[in-house]
Structure formats: C-alpha cells, structure tokens
Amino acid sequence: MKLNQTLYDLFREIAGTSIIEKLYIGLAYTGVATSRGETGIAYTWTGPGHHCIGPEEYRNVEGDSALPVLSGIRSDSPLKRSMALALINALNAPELGQMPADPDNAILFQELGIRRGAHVAMVGYFPPLVRRIQGLGAELEILDRGKGIGDEDRFNKKLNAWAEALILTSSSIFNNTTETILQQAGPSVKAAMVGPTTPMVTAAFRHLPIRLLAGSVIEDQEAVFRAVRHGAGTPVIGRFCRKVTVRMP
C-alpha cells in the first residue's frame, strides 16, 4: 500500500539515527520510547482473531537502531506494523505539541459537518463518538469487522451514495484497508482518520481524500506505559493523553 511506503520514506532518515530504548507490546496497545525521550503508542493488532501471539522470531530491539522496527510498516505482519506505527508516533512526537487540542471533538464535528440530520459513516466502533453523534440527531452507519458490526456491502453502498462524513479508524492501516475504504467514498464525503494510533503526519495522506487527522499526545509517559503493560485500552490510556487534530493542507 502506498500509505505504508510513504510513512516509511518520511521517517527512514530519522529512524536511522534513533535508538529504541523501550518496547512494550500490551494486549491492547503497543508503546515505544526512543533514547531521545520520544514516546508513541499504537493499537496492538495481531491479525485475524486478535490472538495474543508475539513476533515469529524473537529479537531484542531495545538498544538497537529504530530502522528495522520502522521497516515493519511494510511487513505483512500486522503486529510488526503496530510496532512501526508506535515508533512513527514517537518520532513524530515533537511535532504534536503545536497541534490544536480537541478534547471534546468539537473540531472534528465541525470539520466533518456532523449535525442533526447529517449522514455519518463510521469504520471502527467508537462508543463515545457514537453516543454524541446519535445525541445530535445525525444518522449513523457503522462497520467494524472485529466486533461483527455492520454489513460490508451495505456499508460500501451507503459510503458511496449516502454518507456526508466518514470517521475512519486509524487501525485500518494495520490490515491495509485504509485506501480501499476511501476508494468507496463518494466525492463529497468529508473524511477523518481518528484514534490514538493515528500518525499525525499530513504528508503521508496527501494522496488520499482525508480532511482531518485526529490523534493523541502522550502527556504522562509513565502512566501510559504502565497502562500498556497492564493490558488497558483506550478509556484508560486516554486519561494520560491529549487529543489533538490537524487539518490537511
């Protein structure tokens, strides 16, 4: 996929001069810290069925160059892509501080035009967003393969001809469906990539019809990595992060 290659190309140089200090692969999230103190997280995706299985071959990456971990973004292994995305988010951490905070998703809803009567498609089930969208009186169509929600054929038809907005989980990067899903979207659909996994790198998405990126900045590294080690999910990890957004140029 072009997105994976673009992410690799954008971070290859800095990864070559960076060292992995810590790598945690939790049940829900993966965390990476570099020797420069940068930290990042990404959803832990192990493939169909989400079985808790580690890498095919064990190698201690801590203390070594970050470049081999980054190379995982082009791998067939979803787990290696999880590690790579956590690293990318760590390497990109210095850029996140300048991005607008969006704690209540006000920017997200404004950019996508989510209001009463709006037609919203969602890939990945986000309970807080679902509650708010439905509370506004907007219509919602959801597809989440992992949770068995929605019919894919029905969803694609509605995404093409019915939807005005698309909220797309950044976990779609793991199973290489980001570009495929966006190809199904009608020409007037406003799309956003969302979730703590989101690589907040506008240059990586210029070839795609994305309007907004919505991700997270780690504010308490110790608390986040403790939550990762303990298998905690987004509701816990989100307490120690700040939601940020960036508009595509």
**Residue pLDDT, tens place only, 172-202:** 999 899 999 999 999 999 999 999 999 999 9
**Residue pLDDT, tens place only, 96-155:** 888 999 999 999 999 999 999 999 999 999 999 999 999 999 999 999 988 899 999 999
Polymer length of the chain: 249
Structural domains for the chain:
2-94 (3.30.390.100), 106-247 (3.40.50.11590)
Query: How do beta strands 190-194 and 165-169 pair?
Result: parallel
Distance between CA atoms of residues 168 and 48, nearest Å: 19
φ, ψ at 218 (rounded to 5°): -75, 125
pTM of the model: 0.94
**How does 96-112 read in b/e, with b if 16+ C-beta sit within 10 Å?**
beebeebeebebbbebb
